[in-house]
Amino acid sequence: MATTVIVQQPTAAAVPDDRLMVTDIKGHREWSTGLFDIFSDIKTSLLTFFCESYVKCNLATRTGEGGCMPFCVTGAMTIMRSRIRTIGGIKGSAFKDCMVITFCQPCAICQMNRELDHMGVP
């Protein structure tokens, strides 16, 4: 029986930096909970209803932005929703994010919070 000695480990093929994609451009999964699943996390739903500003600031901090972003940046909630979608590989588009935030912001805020919990973002 012959012994084979590996002298050099195999390496990955070099990929240009401009082509490094983590997921497909359309995403690879759906949101972990639906937009109207407000009863799956009553605490966040009630907190959003009574103190939406606090939840917005908390979301901004959890997504790596400054806590004042929701009040200083135009379209901040749409930007944060798109960011959560991108880092989570969630299917969707900027247009859909804008429509959800425009017409159903409290439910979207709760869904975004649940998604960050699902992804394990502190």
Q: List the domain boundaries for the chain.
A: 43-119
- Amino acid 25: pLDDT: 76
Task: Please check whether residue 116 is in contact with residue 60, taking contact to mean a CB–CB distance below 8 angstroms.
Answer: no
pLDDT at 19 over 90: no
Mean pLDDT of 18-22: 64
- pLDDT tens digits for 24-49? 777 889 999 999 998 999 999 999 99
- Amino acid 7: pLDDT: 75
Q: Which of 90, 98, 108 is nearest to 32 (CA)?
A: 90
Burial (0-12, 13-18, 19+ Cβ within 10 Å), 95: exposed
| The model's pTM | 0.79
With a CB cutoff of 8 Å and minimum separation 6, the contacts of 115 are: 31, 32, 33, 84, 88, 90
